[in-house]
A and B are shown apart, each in its own frame.
Chain A
């Protein structure tokens, strides 16, 4: 069952096209990764989903309601964390959390206090004294303590230290267990890799790849490190082999996944001593996508 749908959404700012026919669908209970370089349109997409910007063309729905028309209804069941949290300087962290919770209408004092402890935040300090990470924590606590169905997180861990990042990841996996859905826009690829079920890569306002991490990996190269007894001949002429690095009897290179079988059977002629193949990390995926598509344009 899909709870969020974006159909062919285009957003133009004057002549500039920020989003160009975006399609996206999030199912219930799913953590959806949304990655792309700066200025690709991630935040614009999220603002449209929040009903703050109106799409030029196309439509988007959350819980089968239109994001622009029914934003107030929808917002009762979603929680949002922006990537760059700015707070009201002359209020304390606790006061801001109270306000955000009050605006939603829920009251989860227990979860809230638990989260404050977990994130190690001092809510009695004025917001102007908080560092970026601490401001981020406030938005996170307000969002995570709410009983929402869909969580929209726009680079939520920017500014958090690794310890807090772990706490955050725990909380997210907890939410997933409870059957909540999450849209996670992030730059931290290891985080996306760890948490997300499906991923979309957006670039220059277009979604260039969508699927599970597994699917995406098929599109790219595997890194192979091999040591053989005999010297490998004419490896360079093999189809689909790239970036060969030679170090005595050790070779490391990348193989297009379609040619992996051929390459391995070819290698076996040279009496393999050790063989290690690593699937591409999301980071490599990301890079290949940008380099390839970037070069084409």
Chain B
């Protein structure tokens, strides 16, 4: 009974990956490039500990907290702390938008345009397309997390170690979970 709901998920997953080969690749490259570019320029903008510490004080102001959330690592405001404090939220928004587009493209829009009907008239289970979309999204997000994580680490910035970099990447990936929750309520 269960298998009937999911039949042909594999074929559909490969199909969606094929359709995603350009748009998702561009999204990943874009997010990766911006993350790395900011990380690379941070040491140049703030050259000394004193300058960084001044920035930390700014980040504590209510206006900045309202925008970016409570600052952390402010006692020793390193480049890594600054990066995650300033950039995580904005990058997360980009990741969320990517995911919304990705999921909508393969679920609601396909249904709206009648493409899904064409697929559903074949031996395809009722949940196959949805699960195929989810699988693709997990893959795309995982690739993004690993690339951002290892990419930041590869910049060899003192305060961005492997653990921290990967954590940053995974934090972005976790945005996917929110989107999943969001969609499961629709």
- Residues in chain A within 8 A of chain B (CB atoms): 47, 50-52, 70-73, 75-76, 78-80, 82, 84-88, 90-91, 95, 99-100, 102-105, 139, 152
Contact = CB atoms under 8 A, between A and B. Distances in A.
Contacts of B119: 100, 103
A86 B114 contact: yes
A52 B120 CA distance: 7
A105 B7 CA distance: 12
Contacts of A76: 123
14 contacts: A50-B117, A52-B120, A72-B123, A75-B124, A80-B118, A80-B121, A82-B114, A82-B117, A82-B121, A85-B118, A86-B114, A90-B22, A102-B11, A104-B123
B108 interface: no
B113 A86 contact: yes
B174 interface: no
A88 B115 contact: yes
A95 B118 CA distance: 14
Nearest to B114: A86
Contact of B122 (A47, A70, A95, A100): A100
Q: Which of B7, B113, B118 has the most A CB atoms < 10 Å from its CB?
A: B118
Interface string B1-45: 000100110011001001100100000000000000000000000
Interface in B59-118: 113-115, 117-118
B114 A85 contact: yes
A152 to B, nearest CB: 8
A72 B18 CA distance: 24
A100 B120 contact: no
Q: Which of B7, B22, B125 has the most A CB atoms < 10 Å from its CB?
A: B7
B125 A72 contact: yes
Contacts of A73: 4, 123
B177 to A, nearest CB: 28
A75 B121 contact: yes
Contacts of B11: 99, 102-103
Nearest to B6: A72
A175 B46 CA distance: 76
Contacts of B22: 90
Contacts of B19: 88, 90-91
B157 to A, nearest CB: 38
Contacts of B4: 70, 72-73
